[in-house]
């Protein structure tokens, strides 16, 4: 059965724009809030099990983003940064789609993308009893977690075996107090149709990331293909454009401040019920580590990318992925400090503690949970810090080392490609000289930052000291000189990983694997964090609490609203207080900072933008200008990238692509006064397609109102 109206479907909170709401059944009180803000659709038009609804246009894109179907022929809009990997993999120095953009003027010109897929949500089923009901009393900790994983996998396999393309995913809600099965239809033939030049799609780069004002035309267009029966099918030249159940109409009507707007997509992860101890741990063990290590890595990659077009294309996707959360980590810590989130959380925990002690018999399961959290987080601090340092330094560091580690740890599996083919695929976007610099820098950084001697790889340190006089660079030079993995042309001749098992790079990986085993966390905080959330909801039983985001289909709602923070709070310039940005602000950034790589424009884009030759139908009637990006109060997070943004009639008005720096604490603490969603206006998207690319073929297949 479908999800019933229960605690997982919650009424509007006191702060009406907060919350990533599970779609499937909207309560009467939530429905009232939505309609008071301007929603004109019924609950069934938002989500229905029996008839086409707005939720049917939403796709989970590639397992990391969201998107919206915008035509009867399977056309999908998502963000440029969501499609970036596919754009990059189709690019070369000869066909530089990153720099110059790409548009297909016919189906035959659309480009396939190995491994790219989309998921359509079919239904969600409550399986809490089928999982938690099977756990014997007294089973806790790791044993409980293993049992839950096993039961969830059994449920997923029942779905996965039913039908080609059907996919089941069991997800925990409220940190495991409830479990729900999401059923999806999967399509694996997804082709690139259109991507703007990077100077449009990524305009502002790292300089503007997480910032307002923005002028970024952050979109890309793909098409879903299916077999001739419209069923999921592996890539084939015989496949045809997919015919969706329904698709989103596109509105060029525009909006004004205070108008209703909603998103539908797949927000990845929030932690808004995390304890104060957990928040502090996130700041020190995750954000501090990620920012520091990725800063070292990015310095090397950025220099390499500036040295040649080949390296720029090769590392573009990796650089974008790494830099995004490098800057996020700093922003989140800054916002958490500025908003005094730890103080607020500690005050709330004092209330919970007082409530528990008022009736320790009825509330005995909550006695001592805060003390336990404090003890475990403090005891695990060095291990947690080192685990994150290890992951960032080695698993997310050198690409060659990542390849060897993965193959060493997991070997091969049924249906796997021969080792040589896998190697060729892994080395497609890898420069050995750059990789060696990353390897050496991150190894030195790890040895310098690791908090305890026992967490250093003893065999590696001994060899560096004894054979190379402590010189890490000399050690890495010798390692790369001796290893077959630094000579990708020779790897293609091997069929099995076992043939290179005695390579010195494999020895290095094995030493790391042994160290990783020592970084085991003896006691988990997960169960205590879950109980803390249960206590909060029980204490305030008359209040609604939405579940944290977990990459399941959600809706958020809000209004178009500019930033208007108190003077001195953010240091924002007056132009940044506008609701919408325009082409002139785009040109201004380029002209003011011509040496800034993030504001560089290729000549065709500069001339077009400077000419102002935009179709009249995309010009805002109130301002007489083409709208670029805008601000709303919608609640979003990572994974929402590419989510369609819809007006009260359910028409697409743009795509969500970013949040604002002042509220980077949003995954842990939503602040209605500070939090904004940054979206790209659909009229900006359509103008690039039609006016810049002359892509009338795509415009004609959409329903534009």
Q: Rounded distance, CA 674 to CA 291, Å?
A: 23
- SS3 state of residue 29: helix
Rg over CA atoms, the chain: 26
Q: Which of 13, 17, 80, 81 is catalytic?
A: 81
Q: Which of 13, 91, 276, 641 is catalytic?
A: 641
Q: Rounded distance, CA 483 to CA 433, Å?
A: 13
53 is catalytic: no
- SS3 state of residue 535: helix
The alpha carbon of 139 is separated from its chain's Cα centroid by a whole number of angstroms, namely 34
> From the DSSP assignment, how many helices (H) and strands (E) are in the chain?
25, 18
The torsion angle over the Cα atoms of residues 291, 294, 300 and 303, rounded to 10 degrees, is: -60
What are the b/e assignments for 275-286, b being 16+ CB within 10 Å?
Answer: bbbbbbbbbebb
220 is catalytic: no
What is the 8-class DSSP label of residue 564? -
Q: Rounded distance, CA 354 to CA 531, Å?
A: 16
Q: Which of 294, 175, 226, 190 is nearest to 537 (CA)?
A: 175
81 is catalytic: yes
Cβ-based burial of 575 (10 A; exposed 0-12, middle 13-18, buried ≥19): exposed
Whether the CB-CB separation of 601 and 590 falls below 8 Å is answered with yes
The alpha carbon of 565 is separated from its chain's Cα centroid by a whole number of angstroms, namely 27
Q: Rounded distance, CA 39 to CA 664, Å?
A: 28
Q: Which of 218, 431, 658, 667 is catalytic?
A: 218
Whether the CB-CB separation of 675 and 631 falls below 8 Å is answered with no
Pairing of strands 260-265, 166-173: unpaired
Q: Which of 651, 567, 582, 643 is nearest to 614 (CA)?
A: 582
Whether the CB-CB separation of 187 and 177 falls below 8 Å is answered with no
Tokens of 139: 């089973």
Residues labelled catalytic? 81, 218, 641
């Amino acid at each position: 059965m479908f999800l019933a109206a229960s605690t997982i479907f919650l009424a509007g909170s006191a702060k009406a724009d907060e919350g990533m709401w599970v779609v499937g059944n909207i309560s009467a009180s939530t429905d009232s809030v939505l309609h008071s803000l301007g929603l004109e659709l019924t609950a069934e038009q938002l989500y229905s099990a029996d008839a086409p609804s707005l939720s049917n246009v939403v796709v989970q894109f590639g397992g990391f983003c969201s998107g919206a179907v915008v035509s009867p022929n399977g056309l999908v809009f998502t963000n440029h940064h969501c499609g970036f990997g596919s754009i990059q993999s189709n690019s070369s120095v000869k066909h530089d789609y990153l720099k110059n953009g790409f548009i297909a003027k016919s189906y035959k010109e659309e480009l396939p993308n190995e491994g790219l897929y989309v998921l359509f949500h079919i239904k969600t089923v409550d399986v809490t009893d089928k999982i938690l009901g099977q756990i014997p009393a007294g089973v806790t900790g790791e044993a409980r977690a293993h049992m839950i994983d096993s039961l969830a996998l059994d449920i997923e396999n029942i779905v996965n075996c039913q039908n080609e393309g059907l996919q089941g995913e069991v997800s925990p809600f409220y940190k495991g107090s409830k479990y729900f099965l999401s059923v999806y239809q999967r399509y694996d033939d997804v082709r690139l149709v259109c991507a703007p030049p990077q100077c449009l799609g990524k305009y502002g780069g790292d300089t503007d990331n997480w910032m307002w004002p923005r002028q970024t035309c952050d979109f890309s267009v793909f098409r879903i293909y299916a077999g001739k029966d419209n069923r999921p099918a592996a890539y084939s030249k015989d496949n045809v454009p997919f015919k969706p159940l329904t698709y989103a109409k596109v509105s060029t009507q525009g909006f004004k401040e205070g108008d209703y707007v909603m998103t539908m997509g797949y927000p990845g992860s929030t932690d808004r019920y995390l304890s104060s101890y957990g928040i502090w741990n996130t700041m020190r063990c995750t954000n501090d580590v990620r920012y520091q290590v990725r800063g070292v890595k990015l310095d090397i990659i950025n220099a390499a990318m500036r040295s040649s077009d080949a390296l720029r294309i090769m590392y573009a996707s990796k650089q974008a992925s790494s830099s995004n959360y490098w800057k996020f980590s700093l922003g989140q810590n800054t916002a958490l400090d500025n908003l005094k989130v730890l103080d607020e959380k500690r005050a709330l925990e004092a209330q919970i503690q007082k409530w528990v002690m008022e009736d320790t018999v009825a509330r005995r399961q909550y006695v001592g949970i805060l003390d336990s959290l404090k003890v475990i987080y403090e005891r695990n601090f060095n291990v947690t810090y080192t685990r994150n340092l290890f992951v960032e330094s080695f698993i997310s560091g050198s690409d060659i080392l990542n390849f060897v580690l993965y193959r060493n740890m997991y070997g091969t599996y049924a249906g796997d490609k021969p080792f040589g083919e896998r190697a060729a695929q892994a080395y497609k976007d890898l420069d050995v000289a750059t990789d060696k610099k990353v390897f050496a820098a991150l190894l030195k950084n790890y040895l310098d930052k690791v908090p305890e001697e026992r967490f250093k790889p003893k065999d590696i340190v001994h060899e560096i000291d004894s054979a190379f006089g402590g010189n890490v660079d000399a050690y890495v030079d010798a390692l790369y000189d001796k290893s077959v993995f630094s000579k990708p042309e020779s790897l293609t001749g091997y069929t099995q990983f076992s043939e290179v098992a005695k390579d010195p790079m494999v020895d290095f990986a094995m030493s790391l694997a042994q160290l990783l085993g020592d970084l085991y966390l003896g006691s988990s905080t997960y169960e205590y964090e879950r109980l803390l959330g249960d206590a909060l909801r029980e204490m305030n039983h008359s209040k609604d609490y939405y579940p944290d985001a977990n990459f399941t289909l959600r809706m958020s709602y809000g209004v178009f609203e500019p930033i208007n923070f108190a003077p001195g709070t953010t240091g924002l310039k007056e132009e940044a207080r506008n609701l919408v940005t325009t082409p002139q602000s785009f040109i201004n950034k380029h002209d003011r900072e011509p040496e800034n790589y993030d504001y560089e424009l290729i000549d065709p884009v500069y001339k077009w933008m400077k000419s102002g030759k935009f179709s009249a139908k995309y010009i805002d009637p109130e301002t007489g200008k083409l709208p670029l990006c805008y601000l709303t109060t919608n609640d979003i997070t990572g994974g929402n990238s590419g989510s369609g943004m819809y007006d009260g009639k359910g028409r697409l008005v743009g795509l969500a692509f970013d949040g604002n720096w002042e509220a980077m604490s949003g995954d842990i603490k939503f602040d209605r006064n500070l939090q904004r969603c940054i979206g790209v206006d659909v009229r900006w998207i359509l103008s690039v397609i039609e006016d810049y690319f002359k892509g009338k073929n795509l415009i004609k297949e959409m329903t534009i109102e």
